[in-house]
Amino acid sequence: MNICVVAGSINYVKSECNFFKGLATGESWAPLGQGMLDLADMANFWSARGTMLRGQLAQSASTFIRRIPDMKAEEMAFHGAGIAGNIAGGIVGSKGSWIGQECGQRN
């Protein structure tokens, strides 16, 4: 495995650890709350702020995609680790909710 791929993956794990440490100290709660409010605004079709945020998100995604060919291996590994983590979290979350439903039906 390429050392850049390992370094990028390690940097992603460090970033996630710092986020969770921030939750323990309280410094990450305000940005997390603002992110939840932003998601609610983006989901509201009639919200002017939501329209602006959806536009910014589309522009950021477009810029990111255009940058992919010029990314270094370490940066690609960082983002790849993030994607893999989100997919794994979704799978675990969906399996966990299914298990909870099954346990609830047995009671």
Calpha distance 107→105 (Å, rounded): 6
**pLDDT for res 49:** 94
The position carrying tokens 């047995």 is 106
Read off the pLDDT of residues 20-76 as tens digits, 9 standing for 90 and up.
Answer: 788 788 777 888 889 899 999 999 999 999 999 999 999 999 998 899 899 888 888
Whole domain around residue 69: which residue ranges?
3-106
User: 10: which 2 tokens?
Assistant: 């390690």
pLDDT tops 60 at residue 104:
no
Number of domains in the chain: 1
Flag the least confident range among 14-23, 30-39, 74-83, 91-100: 91-100
- pLDDT score, position 95: 64
User: How confident is the model at residue 44, as a pLDDT?
Assistant: 92
Helices in 1-107 by DSSP H: which ranges?
Answer: 3-25, 29-43, 48-67, 73-106
Say how far apart CA 104 and CA 7 lie, in whole Å.
43
The pLDDT score that the predictor gives to residue 107 is 46
In angstroms, rounded to a whole number, what is the distance separating the alpha carbons of residues 29 and 37? 12
One-letter amino acid identity for 91?
I
Per-residue model confidence (pLDDT) at position 2: 65
